Structure 1
Amino acid sequence: MSRDTQTVTALTRGLSVLETFARLGHSLSLAQVARELGLPKSTIFRLMNSLVSLGYLEQPVKGGPYNLGPRVLGLGFAVLQGLDVREAALPHMERLFAQVNETVNLSILDRRQIIYVARVRKRELLSLNLFVGSRLPVYSSSPGRVLMAYLPAAEREKLIRGLEADPDAARWLASRGVDLRLLCDQVRIQGLAVNDGEYLPELFALSAPVLDVSGRARAALSIPILKRGQPAEVLCDRLAGPLKECAARISALLGHGAEHLLRPQT
């Protein structure tokens, strides 16, 4: 193996280690990471020690679990600061929160997942364990469905085919009878995606697209609610209008003429 190939392999594995922390939690043992990545503990030990020396991981107690280090957080904040959509959205998210008294989320697409990049959270005893940086599958979440629906046609079809070829995604979709192509058509017609108990039985979520000047969804604005016996129709009637209006105002700041988002649902 050439030195260049060894360097690329080490870099790929190091990034996989960091992604494991992002996916599973901020504090993991060497054994947990090795098991998750299917690599020898000796290999993971060398990788994690290198990441500690660079500041991307920390090990507060020798022999104990590792945590994400400050350099990772610095990179994350740099990315978030570069997302002008987040900066544009936050004041409007706060106003929407004040209007409906429910949690408001902003998400972006990352391959086959969504990432939460901003959140105005309602404080309550029972709430969803989501935070800025959390990821969800694109196919089972209402923000993901919005972001998928507003992709250019060729990109959308490529993403759907990839999901259909993924065993976990295909199994989930088949078990619920979800046709992603039909669903995307419905989302574009209504300007909304609805998830009524598909991801979690008690969870109801509405999402609307934040569009740029090209008509592409730069982000998805969403309101998730624990239903507590409330009918989906009642929740939709209360939240759909304010959500779509807020998404349209943010879209306008990004240069999109979003009047069509405000038309009544069909």
Structure 2
Amino acid sequence: MSAVTEPRAVRRPPVASAPPAAVGEVRARQPKAIHSALTVLEEVARLGAGVTAQEISQSLGLPRATTYRLINLLVQDEYLVRMPDLTGFALGRKVVELAHLVAPSPPPQAVRDVIADLRSRIRGGIHLVRYEGDRILIVDADPDFPLSDESRISRDLTASAMGRLLLAERAGGASPSGYASQTGELTPGYGCLALPIRAADGRLVGALCLSAPAERIASPGTLLRQLDEGALHLAPLIA
């Protein structure tokens, strides 16, 4: 009898495993996803804090599933944040940090002269801001009385007088007092107030702000007149 031999094992070529994706590798379809994410960021900036995912989806014509996926990624990486009441979204810390890397142009000399005069006559921090949509742009922060939390001021409109002034305007008009204020929100024992700066057509374009001890903010007295005069002088210079 002939010996029974075992069948020879067939050697198969090893299956090459896919190389791990290199950090920063851009796949064929990634540019479109990146563009979509940037478009979502731009839409949140345009529509303002509190915009919902559904509103973003409808405005951009993106599928809802795609919109939610992009928003979740942007929230995860802190480019967007959920509003405290969970009703919508706002620009996040990373966007604020990127914006601050771009040095703003210094204000014109005429603006600096008005601010310098106010600082020479008023004890406290005198700050000038502009509004672009729902964003606060710090034009001139008082170097002797620095803003306590510039990042939070820029992203949380409820935390500062300058943000509350903008929110009141968006809600249908300035407060009855004609200015906005807050005490203890950013720094215990201190506060700030903000007076509107308006263009000739009445649009709110900026604010003149004072940061000082809480008791002075609660009873500003003649400070309001000085700040109001300053805001009137600044209006034609920055509008």
TM-score (norm 2): 0.52
CA distance in 2, matches of 1:232, 1:129: 16
**1:11–1:203 Cα change, 3 Å:** farther
SS in 2 for 1:191: coil
CA distance in 2, matches of 1:121, 1:99: 16
Q: Are 2:25 and 1:6 equivalent residues in the alignment?
A: no
**1:7–1:198 Cα change, 3 Å:** same
* Matched pairs, number: 162
Aligned to 1:177: none
Match of 2:76 among 28, 38, 45: 38
Is the CA contact (8 Å cut-off) linking 1:115 and 1:134 kept in structure 2?
A: no
Q: Deviations over 1:20-68 (max 9, x none)?
A: xxxxxxxxxxxxxxx98536xxxxxxxxxxxxxxxxxxxxxxxxxxxx8
Aligned partner of 2:224: which letter?
A
CA distance in 2, matches of 1:204, 1:97: 17
Aligned to 1:168: none
SS in 1 for 2:118: helix
Aligned partner of 1:242: which letter?
Q
* Structure 2 residue ranges without an equivalent (≥5): 1-26, 41-72, 78-96
Match of 1:121 among 143, 150, 163: 143
CA distance in 2, matches of 1:147, 1:38: 28
Identity of aligned residues (%): 19
Q: What are the residue-to-residue correspondences of 1:165-204 with 2, within 5 Å? A: 184-185=173-174, 187=175, 189-204=176-191
Q: Are 2:145 and 1:145 equivalent residues in the alignment?
A: no
Q: Are 2:94 and 1:107 equivalent residues in the alignment?
A: no
**1:202–1:110 Cα change, 3 Å:** farther
Is the CA contact (8 Å cut-off) linking 1:140 and 1:198 kept in structure 2?
A: yes
Larger Rg: 2
Is the CA contact (8 Å cut-off) linking 1:213 and 1:254 kept in structure 2?
A: no
Bigger helix fraction:
1
CA distance in 2, matches of 1:12, 1:220: 34
Q: Are 2:238 and 1:251 equivalent residues in the alignment?
A: no
Aligned partner of 1:109: which letter?
Y
Q: What are the residue-to-residue correspondences of 1:26-105 with 2, within 5 Å? A: 38=76, 73=101, 76-77=102-103, 80-81=104-105, 86-87=107-108, 89-105=111-127
**1:131–1:138 Cα change, 3 Å:** closer
CA distance in 2, matches of 1:12, 1:118: 34
CA distance in 2, matches of 1:254, 1:231: 27
Is the CA contact (8 Å cut-off) linking 2:153 and 2:159 kept in structure 1?
A: no
CA distance in 2, matches of 1:109, 1:96: 21
Cα distance, 1:112 vs structure 2: 4.6
* Structure 1 residue ranges without an equivalent (≥5): 17-34, 40-67, 151-155, 158-180, 256-266
Aligned to 1:241: 225
